[in-house]
Structure formats: structure tokens, C-alpha cells
Amino acid sequence: MENLICLDSSIFINHFREKDKLHTFFAKLGYKYSGFVISVVAEFEVLIGVSRIEDEIYWESVFLDCSIIPFSSEINMIALNASKTLRKNGQQLEFKDLIIGATAIQQNLPLATLNEKHFDKLDKLTIVTPFSLS
């Protein structure tokens, strides 16, 4: 079985901005995991910020190596149930983070992020950060 991990958009954006790409969290994840999965929402978050054709070509090549998971009814229900639970506890998450987290849960994969606080309220989600990567 493959050793996959779901990625939040923060992983890609950080990698793109860093000059030393060999030492980014994204690069380190590449040594530990055999493949990457992303939510279509994370793909959207990355691509919405693209303004140059060179950057668009760069991202297209990066995403070729990722399995992009489309939004589905099952992911929707996971996100909806999580949102209802959070509201009962007086908490909330942004829609995009709910969908990205629900995608990782639906795929039964850990989620790598640089924004742990965006996802730490989601039950059933294993979060991988630079500090937790061993």
C-alpha cells in the first residue's frame, strides 16, 4: 500500500516562496511519503494567487504529481457534520479548511499543514506539521 499524505495549500505556497526549495517542508514530506493527495479546494487556493504564466506552468507541473480529490457528497457530509459539532461547542472553521480537512478524513490520510490551528478542531484528523514530522 502506498504511503500517502494529504496536503494543505500552505505547504505549496511556502515551498514556492522559499529560495532553498530542498529544505522546505514540502521537500521533506517528499522523502517520507510516496505520494501526495490534495483537495480541489487546496488546488484552487494555490491557483487563485497565480498572476504570471510562468507560475501557472510551474503549478501545473507540481500538480501532475498529486492526486486531486474533487468535492463530493461524502466530503460534504463529513464537513457538514464537523461544522455542526464545532458550532455546538461555540467554534467554527472557514469553509475551505472544513473541506480540506474533510477530504483528508474521507481519504483516511493525515493532513500536512503549516497552519495547525486551522485544522486542530477537527476530530478524526491526524495533522502533520514540521514539528511532528519525524
Of 75, 134, 65, 63, the C-alpha closest to 104 is 75
Digit-coded pLDDT (tens) for 38-92: 999 999 999 998 999 999 999 999 999 899 999 999 999 999 999 999 999 999 9
For 87-99, write each residue's pLDDT tens digit.
999 999 999 999 9
Task: State the Cα–Cα distance between residues 117 and 120, nearest whole angstrom.
Answer: 5
pLDDT at 133: 75
d(CA 32, CA 11): 15
The CATH H-level superfamily of 4-128 is 5'-nuclease (3.40.50.1010)
Q: If pLDDT is split at 50, 70 and 90, which confidence band does 132 have? A: confident
Residue position matching grid coordinates 515551498? 15
Question: Given pLDDT bands bounded at 50, 70 and 90, which one contains residue 123?
Answer: confident
As a 3-state breakdown, the chain gives helix, strand, coil percent values, each rounded to 5, of: 50, 15, 35
Judged on CB neighbours under 10 Å (0-12, 13-18, 19+), 100 is buried
**Element spanning 86, H or E:** helix 73-88
Mean pLDDT of 4-25: 94
Q: Where are the domains of the chain?
A: 4-128
Task: Give 134's pLDDT tier (boundaries 50, 70, 90).
Answer: low
